[in-house]
Amino acid sequence: MTEPMTDTGVAFESPDAVERALSGTGYLPDPALATAVFLAARLQRPLLLEGEAGVGKTSLAEALAQIKGSTLIRLQCYEGIDASQALYDWDFPRQVLHLRAVQALRTDTDTTPEEVAAVEDELYSERFLLARPVLAALRTPDAVLLIDEIDRADDEFEAFLLEVLADYAVTIPELGRVVAQQPPMVVITSNRTREVHDALKRRCLYHWLEHPTLVREVQILRRRLPGIDEQLAADVAGASARLRGAALLKPPGVAESLDWARALTAIGVTRLDERSGLATIGAALKYREDIEVVRASGALLTGSA
Ligand SMILES: Nc1ncnc2c1ncn2[C@@H]1O[C@H](COP(=O)(O)OP(=O)(O)OP(=O)(O)O)[C@@H](O)[C@H]1O
Ligand SMILES: [Mg+2]
């Protein structure tokens, strides 16, 4: 179903409307997540999503961009990332080329101070500006900005983001202040390798994304893998749920369930039993220790004691 449009893009009327719109893209949220998205949109607050790997944090932002019909602007965080990678930078090689071109074209030798100043101004104009994701999101109407894996960045970077998110504006000394005409929808994700600071959390609406329930995961598998055997979808979702309860080093996320179902389909089985499960376990588990746990207890795969 198409949601009503306003002059500022898609307006969600209710959490149910969010759920319907997301489902339309193939992303099946639980009611709590749909409510969090609704509130983030309504209150124009960034949504801070934490959760285990592969529970659907990044793909939520992708689905939101799809609903809004805008491209997803993504900032992948990493250790050492700084404002020039997030906001803007000057295209130094092009600036140098431009200077050389100006020099080559000049035939006279005396240049007035005004001419020098004019060339310098040109160097710091829009033409040589490299807009990085945060600036691009401020300047794009109705954008969705994904700040992915904020926990990988360091404290200074968080403080910088906080400043930008406080008023959805930045100042570029050479060009002036850029204020978002319409604030982007911001989704920040964290895998919780470290705690995000309280100051940033205060700015955001927080949501802890759980693994899906068994019923929802079956729906996700069937939606993402059209044509998958119904029984196989139920088997895989059931086995993934049991594995998540088994204190493994790295329990499977939805991403792994999808891969596992694909692997089982590829070897032509329609039921997950101990044999087919072990043959394809590398799609679901990525640690030798975890695979040993499953070898020792085949019931984790089949559910029968
Ligand atoms: N609720 C859902 N509905 C439909 N597909 C989902 C859902 N949750 C997860 N998926 C699918 O599972 C896969 C993994 O999701 P995604 O990459 O968004 O997880 P993530 O939480 O960002 O993981 P990571 O922490 O590893 O970055 C994607 O293919 C995504 O489409
Ligand atoms: Mg992700």
Of 290 and 299, the one with more pLDDT: 290
90-98 average pLDDT score: 93
The closest-lying atom of ligand 1 relative to the alpha carbon of residue 257 is 12
- Cβ-contact 219, 179 below 8 angstroms: no
Q: Which is it for strands 144-148 and 72-76: parallel, antiparallel or unpaired?
A: parallel
Q: Is 244 exposed, middle or buried (0-12, 13-18, 19+ CB in 10 A)?
A: middle
Q: Give the pLDDT confidence score for residue 10 in this predicted structure.
A: 63
CA–CA separation, 152 and 71 (whole Å)? 24
Kindly tell me if the per-residue pLDDT of 136 is higher than 60: yes
Q: How confident is the model at residue 242 (pLDDT cuts 50, 70, 90)?
A: very high
Amino acid in the structure at residue 26: G
Can you give the length of the chain in residues?
305
Kindly tell me if the per-residue pLDDT of 184 is higher than 50: yes
CA–CA separation, 156 and 217 (whole Å)? 38
Q: Give the pLDDT confidence score for residue 42 in this predicted structure.
A: 93
Q: How confident is the model at residue 1 (pLDDT cuts 50, 70, 90)?
A: very low
Query: What number of CA atoms fall less than 13 Å from residue 95's CA on the CB side?
Result: 15
The closest-lying atom of ligand 1 relative to the alpha carbon of residue 149 is 27
- Ligand minimally distant from the alpha carbon of residue 191: 1
- Cβ-contact 94, 128 below 8 angstroms: yes
235-248 average pLDDT score: 95
Q: Give the pLDDT confidence score for residue 259 in this predicted structure.
A: 97
| CA nearest ligand 1 atom 13, residue | 255
Distance in Å, CA 134 to ligand 1 centroid = 23
- Cβ of 9 less than 6 Å from ligand 1: no
Ranking 77-86, 105-114, 150-159 by mean pLDDT, the lowest is: 105-114
